[in-house]
Amino acid sequence: AQSVTQLGSHVSVSEGALVLLRCNYSSSVPPYLFWYVQYPNQGLQLLLKYTTGATLVKGINGFEAEFKKSETSFHLTKPSAHMSDAAEYFCAVTGSARQLTFGSGTQLTVLP
């Protein structure tokens, strides 16, 4: 069984500041981990994924995440926030089952 915890349902950052969205997971098997972004009234778009190999993964729009097995974490970062980054972000995990298990989401606000 898998579960995901996202710390902070709302995060606000200033434009140009570091973005850090936290995700911790629980999995009974080696996990595959994902970050998705959802813009208003749109579906989910994959930002990045960890399957195997390098633990630091880079995604679209300048985002990256690091898989830390010892901390069961997969935090999402971006060095410099843009106004266009304002959206809801979901961390997800899958293991032996094919469906995704999602966290509760983090709404990112970027302040001018």
CB atoms within 10 A of CB 33: 22
Q: Which is nearer to another protein, 67 or 81 (CB)?
A: 67
Stretch that binds another protein, among 11-19, 60-68, 73-81, 101-109 (CB under 8 A): 101-109
How far from each other are the two terminal CA atoms of the chain, in whole angstroms? 41
Interface with another protein (CB under 8 A), residue from 28, 41, 70, 84 = 41
Residue positions counted in the chain? 112
Min separation Cβ 97 and another protein, Å:
7
| Near another protein in 57-86, by CB under 8 A | none
Stretch that binds another protein, among 20-28, 57-65, 69-77, 88-96 (CB under 8 A): 88-96
